[in-house]
């Protein structure tokens, strides 16, 4: 029996695939989607014109596209073929459905997280307990005093804008994403739909970050650190028990994010 056919009792099926597996496949096909989107824009496929029009920084007839190599946040870069000017730096995320999408938007080790955000030693200790002791449910573990939780919340609120800016746009000095393209991955012929407007949402990072101005960091009823609008900070897990399973990761639920933006 294939992994797609194996499913727990009550698991949902999408496109003939167990939903959890479909969500994983959507994320895993992200790189292929980037290549396809780039090629479609380069070829001036009609299905891509709406993207160039919404970015509105370069005439469509002069538009080119390229993959951004390395660890920088932008996946696809739109540029003016005449001047070479970069007009739109797109972070692309694939999900099965906007109402159920759950994507990783940033992942890093606790060491790198602490360096990037100048995390005090006492807060590092709390985050280490949160990840290395494998306590997925922060508040249910009963290993944190209220003072510790208040201190962690205070720190995260102080750093909230920097944390979200890095998670969504990237920390690279050379370039940062200024657009998020969400694509609904719909097999078996999903490749043909990568750039179609009916299957995608293009959102400026400025609009995304703006919705968090009045939202404070808190904890879900399960104890997950939440920034609101579907954004959480949690232990990565998985990875067959490797140390990388203890990494911190920012996750994005597409439905509450799009709802907060007035897109759903």
Three-state DSSP state, 182: strand
Q: Is residue 6 part of a domain?
A: no
Domain containing residue 70: 16-260
| pLDDT tens digits, one per residue of 12-34 | 545 444 456 777 787 788 889 99
Residue 7 domain flag: no
The pTM (predicted TM-score) of the whole model is 0.86
Write out pLDDT tens, residues 241-256.
677 778 899 999 999 9
What pLDDT, on a 0 to 100 scale, did the predictor assign at position 188? 81
| 52 domain residue, yes or no | yes
Count up the domains in the chain and report the number: 1
Dihedrals φ, ψ of 235, to 5°? -70, 140
Question: What does the pLDDT look like over 133-192, one tens digit per residue?
Answer: 655 545 555 678 888 888 999 999 999 999 999 999 987 666 799 999 999 988 888 888
* Domain membership flag for residue 27: yes
The DSSP line for 78-102 is EEETTT--EEEEEEEEEES-TTT-E
Q: For residue 175, what are the contacts with CB-CB under 8 A and spacing of at least 6? A: 68, 72, 73, 74, 77, 86, 89
Domain-located, residue 11: no
Residue 8 lies in a domain: no
pLDDT at 94 over 50: yes
Cis check: omega of the bond before 188, within 30 degrees of 0: yes
pLDDT band at 105 (very low <50, low <70, confident <90, very high): very high
Separation of first and last alpha carbons in the chain? 38
CA–CA dist 109, 236 (Å, integer): 10
∠ Cα 227 157 232 (to 5°)? 20
CA distance 139 to 134: 13
Which residue do the tokens 């205070």 mark?
154
Q: Which two tokens stand for residue 66?
A: 């390229």
Q: Is residue 4 part of a domain?
A: no
Assess if residue 9 is contained within a domain.
Answer: no
């Amino acid at each position: 029996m294939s992994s797609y056919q194996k499913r727990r009792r009550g698991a949902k099926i999408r496109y003939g695939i167990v939903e959890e597996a479909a969500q994983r496949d959507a994320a895993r096909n992200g790189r292929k989607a980037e290549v396809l989107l780039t090629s479609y824009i380069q070829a001036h496929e009609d299905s891509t014109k709406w993207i160039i029009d919404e970015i509105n920084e370069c005439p469509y007839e002069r538009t080119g596209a390229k993959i951004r190599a390395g660890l920088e946040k932008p996946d696809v870069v739109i540029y003016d073929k005449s001047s070479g000017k970069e007009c739109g730096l797109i972070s692309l995320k694939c999900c099965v459905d906007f109402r159920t999408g759950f994507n990783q938007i940033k992942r890093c080790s606790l060491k790198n997280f602490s360096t990037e955000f100048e995390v005090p030693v006492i807060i590092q200790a709390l985050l280490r307990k949160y990840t290395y002791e494998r306590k997925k449910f922060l508040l249910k573990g009963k290993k944190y005093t209220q003072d510790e939780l208040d201190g962690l919340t205070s720190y995260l609120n102080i750093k909230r804008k920097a944390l979200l800016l890095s998670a969504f746009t990237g920390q690279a000095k050379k370039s940062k994403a200024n657009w998020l393209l969400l694509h609904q991955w719909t097999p078996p012929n999903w490749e043909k739909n990568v750039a179609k407007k009916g299957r995608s949402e293009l959102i400026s990072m400025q609009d995304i970050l703006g919705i968090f101005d009045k939202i404070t960091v808190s904890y879900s009823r399960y104890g997950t650190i939440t920034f609101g609008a579907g954004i959480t900070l949690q232990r990565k897990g998985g990875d067959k028990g490797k140390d990388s399973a203890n990494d911190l990761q920012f996750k994005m639920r597409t439905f509450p994010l799009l709802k907060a933006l007035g897109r759903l």
